[in-house]
Amino acid sequence: MTDSNTTDTLREHTIAERERLADLLGGLDADGWAAPSLCAGWRVREVVAHITMPYRYSLPRFLLGFAAARFSFDRYADKAARADTARLSDADLLTALRDNIEHPWRPPRGGAAGALSHDVIHGLDITEPLGLPPAPPRRIALVLGNAAPNQFAYFGVDLTGRRLEATDADIAVGTGTPIPLSAKDILLTVTGRRPLP
């Protein structure tokens, strides 16, 4: 794999991240699946349900649910994840991930970079509280390097006057006073999972 931002490279990293997550999840017991994630109110199993939702939902099903949630994606995603974990076992969710490692899904307007971001960010939602290994710094740097500034605005993080510089990858976010952090900690910060240092 190269470190370029080509669609092929992003896709290779997406597949590798899904394989990595499936292997980690395969080693969890019931307590691990029931552990709280970094997504408020979601356990590990709800996060996996959310990650695999694009593989399991048809477009008409998604659109109907989205409309029923009054066109709030957050409201819809929460309802869907909770409903899915009520009817699917942890083994079912893991199978949905394993069977779709090479699935071509890309989020609307997100492209290949959006697919990678989705899996890496939600992967951290699982691995961080469980103390499991994160995605490699190079993969996280691809997520950071391919995000438009307004994408991080969604998370409500204000980087004014700060430049978060990775100590383990060639990436920085923001302008201003340099703050050295690992690539993982930068991504957790800009997505609102960790407070600004």
pLDDT computed for residue 153 by the predictor:
75
pLDDT computed for residue 4 by the predictor:
59
Q: Contact at 8 Å (CB) between 128 and 193?
A: yes
Where do the domains of the chain lie, and which CATH numbers do they carry?
Answer: 7-135 (1.20.120)
Q: Contact at 8 Å (CB) between 113 and 147?
A: yes
What is the chain's pLDDT, residue by residue, as a tens digit (197 residues)?
344 579 999 999 999 999 999 999 999 999 999 999 999 999 999 999 999 999 999 999 999 998 999 999 899 999 999 999 999 999 999 999 999 999 999 998 889 999 999 999 999 999 999 999 999 999 999 999 998 766 777 788 888 999 999 999 999 999 999 999 999 999 999 999 999 88
pLDDT computed for residue 148 by the predictor:
75
Q: Angle at Cα 50 formed by Cα 144 and Cα 79, nearest 5°?
A: 125
Between CA 100 and CA 34 the distance in angstroms is: 23
Task: For the chain, give the longest Cα–Cα distance.
Answer: 49
pLDDT computed for residue 143 by the predictor:
96
Q: Contact at 8 Å (CB) between 190 and 156?
A: no
